Chain A
Amino acid sequence: MQGKVWKFKDNIDTDLIIPARYLNTHEAAELAKHCMEDADPEFSKKAGKGDFIVAGENFGCGSSREHAPVAIKAAGISAVIAKSFARIFFRNSINVGLPIMEIKETDEISEGDILKVDLEKGTINDETTGKTYRAEPFPEFMKNIIDKGGLVQHVKEKL
């Protein structure tokens, strides 16, 4: 997958990703319209299909709202790359099938850079700078859920 980088800082909380004033629905397309609104009001208009969010530490801290990864996914973002993720956002992303990748060098990636990402191999190529990064691999347990396309399918097969 290939796309443009939208850059965000440390501690991007779930209220920035999708403000609670829009949580009176859980319809993905509706949530996507307000994705990242309080961090960048123009985000949903600017971000193109297949683009990436690149951020610092503790991405997705705050509430348990699954609406956050759902909004990002529905906004067309193909993966979130951060130095670290807050734990509920992390498990929600795995469960709903939003690809997330952890690398420590996100400071080296700039807004507007073009990334080429191979989720299978866990590699991130910054086509703009020519640098390559390798994301932390997922533990086997989580890989099983990801490979099934999310928690629902994973559990369904066991019921």
Chain B
Amino acid sequence: MPQTITQKILAAHCGKKEVYPGQFIEADCDVVLGNDITAPPAITEFEKFEIKKVFDKNKIVLVPDHFTPNKDIKSAQQVKTMREFAKKFKIKHFFELGCMGVEHALLPEQGLVYSGQLIIGADSHTCTYGALGAFSTGVGSTDMAAAMATGKIWLKVPEQMKFVFKGKLNKWVSGKDLILYTIGDIGVDGARYMSMEFTGPAISKLSMDSRLAMCNMAIEAGGKNGIIIPDAITKDYVHNHVGVGRDRPLPVYLSSDIDAQYCRVIEYDCADIEPQVSFPHLPSNAKPISKVGKVKIDQVVIGSCTNGRIEDLRVAAKVLKGKKRHPDIRLIIIPATQAIYKQAMKEGLFDIFMKAEAAISTPTCGPCLGGHMGILAEGERCVATTNRNFVGRMGHPKSEVYLSNAAVAAASAVTGHITGPGDI
């Protein structure tokens, strides 16, 4: 039976030739990931196994990124629990503050995740790594605990959906806009339990940063995983980040069979896709920038596992060059990793940001989930390059988050209301 790339990766990780939608499998994990919110409860559960070893100390990745630098005493305790666990079980990949980054920007950059792998993470945005042609999905803390003990995860093989993006991208449109448009079309449960395969001529030309942003938000449509078949751009990225001769298995570049079965195939013409803005309080409330109207805002956040990468910072700098934030706006820019931070500094992007009166932060998830570093007061509105605009997501239950790409966010910071980069 013809198989999709998702089916092929799942089959290869449970010792089967083929797998079918609806089938339950127990799969081997190449990477098991946790952060400072999800790893501490996983550690509590792991201790119940009363075992002396993790399944593989090189395959567990612990990233304290959500409430770090520790925002309060309780958060500090959580990170301490992680740190001590990492020491006790000799976990190779524990990222201490100073080399820590937002996990889903950090792992691809560090070459810890790559094509052909099966990755689980106790974080819903673990689906990001599908951009590299891996099967990658979010799970909970107990799943993480079990996987740290056994190296295995139970999965139901998902149905497969295919999204074909035709034509060329309009100006200022990025992977973020394609995924917001898609979620706007199919809804927040439009791909519930399903695999989302992104393909077509526009995807072939899309940068890796944009692909990562797209797959990152598969979960916002309810998807189990987002995935893009590896091509020259993938191989180039993997080659540069994973390197050769390192102590790990080689990447496996798979593709979907031509006659593979999809439960739904949706085609989009990119000529129809403008920069998108998702209105509160669901990512599916997407509108093209031309239909937004005048929405006054109080804050702009550029960062997160969705759009805190160098491409996003470059776009923001292009828009902000020679300009200043509107006097009523707080502009917060958060490079997602130390390497991105360094690169942005080297390229002079920080000079542009400082002249625009932006506050530049060390890597953290911070405001994205209403943790710290930019919490909203009652009635305040924020344009953010993050991934969720649920009630209370960035602070007060009566505050509002509008999701966009980095260009729209930067332009909005200049005018004080939601603005397309072409309009300043």
The residues of A with any CB-CB pair to B shorter than 8 Å are 11, 13, 15-16, 19-21, 23-26, 37-39, 57-58, 61-67, 70, 84, 86-88, 91-92, 95-96, 139, 141, 145, 150-152, 155-156, 158-159
Contacts and interface: CB of A to CB of B under 8 A. Distances in A.
A70 B140 CA distance: 11
Contacts of A26: 40-41, 44, 78, 141
B392 A96 contact: no
Given A58-B188, A64-B123, A15 B390 contact: yes
A16 B78 CA distance: 22
A70 B37 CA distance: 14
Contacts of B391: 13, 15-16, 38-39
A86 B137 CA distance: 13
A24 B146 contact: no
A58 B189 contact: yes
A43 to B, nearest CB: 13
B410 interface: no
Contacts of A91: 139-140, 143
B67 A24 contact: yes
B172 interface: no
A63 B124 CA distance: 5
A76 B48 CA distance: 23
Given A61-B222, A66-B142, A155-B146, 18 more contacts: A11-B188, A16-B392, A23-B66, A24-B74, A26-B41, A26-B141, A62-B388, A63-B123, A64-B121, A64-B123, A64-B138, A65-B38, A88-B124, A88-B140, A92-B140, A95-B143, A145-B154, A155-B150
Q: Sort chain B's interface into a size bin.
A: 35 or more
B374 interface: no
B321 interface: no
Contacts of A96: 140, 142
Interface in B96-128: 121-124, 126
A69 to B, nearest CB: 8
Given A24-B71, A88-B138, A152-B146, A15 B38 contact: no
Nearest to B78: A24
28 contacts: A15-B370, A15-B392, A20-B37, A20-B369, A20-B371, A20-B393, A21-B392, A23-B37, A23-B67, A23-B369, A24-B67, A24-B74, A26-B40, A26-B44, A37-B397, A38-B397, A58-B189, A63-B123, A63-B388, A66-B41, A66-B122, A91-B143, A139-B24, A141-B24, A150-B142, A152-B48, A152-B145, A159-B51
Nearest to A39: B391
Contacts of A25: 74, 78
A145 B146 CA distance: 12
B259 interface: no
Contact of A21 (B49, B78, B138, B371): B371
A16 B390 contact: yes
Contact of B192 (A58, A152, A155): A58
Contacts of B138: 64, 88
A26 B393 CA distance: 19
Choose among A24, A58, A67 the residue with the greatest number of B CB atoms under 10 Å from its CB. Answer: A24
Interface string B33-57: 0000110110011001101000000
A67 B142 contact: no
Interface string B216-230: 000100101000000
B189 A156 contact: no
Contact of A95 (B40, B140, B397): B140
